[in-house]
Amino acid sequence: MFKKKGGSHAVNTDGFEVKFYGRDELIYVEHLLGGGHRQVTIYAGLLVGRVNRSIEAGSRWLNHWNPPNHQVAITENERKQIVKNITDALDFLGISYELSQ
């Protein structure tokens, strides 16, 4: 279940959140059992027209967690789950998007 935290920040009870930072960055945060978190920053270009954002969700962009977890690679299954979580959050927020691989 999602909870809105501002116009472009969604928190999910499954332990993740999606928020925009600045003009072109989307931050995905995963809260870990036992405390702590890891996050990844994704390019989310601002568009004009019927689609609000272009999300770079391919393995080229979504391949490692941000520091201090930058040595931990994101697996293909994790990438698919992250993309699903992000798109679910954007749908909840009412933000239109296109995914770029």
Average pLDDT of span 62-78: 92
Per the structure, how many domains does the chain have? 1
Computed over every residue of the chain, the mean pLDDT equals 89
How many C-beta atoms surround the C-beta of residue 3 within 10 A? Answer: 11
Share of the chain above pLDDT 70, in %: 95
What pLDDT does residue 36 have?
A: 93
The domain of 68 spans: 2-100
What pLDDT does residue 74 have?
A: 94
Determine if the peptide bond prior to 68 is cis (ω within 30°): yes
The structure's pTM equals 0.89
Average pLDDT of span 1-15: 94
DSSP class of residue 68 equals T
Q: Name beta bridge partners: 79.
A: none
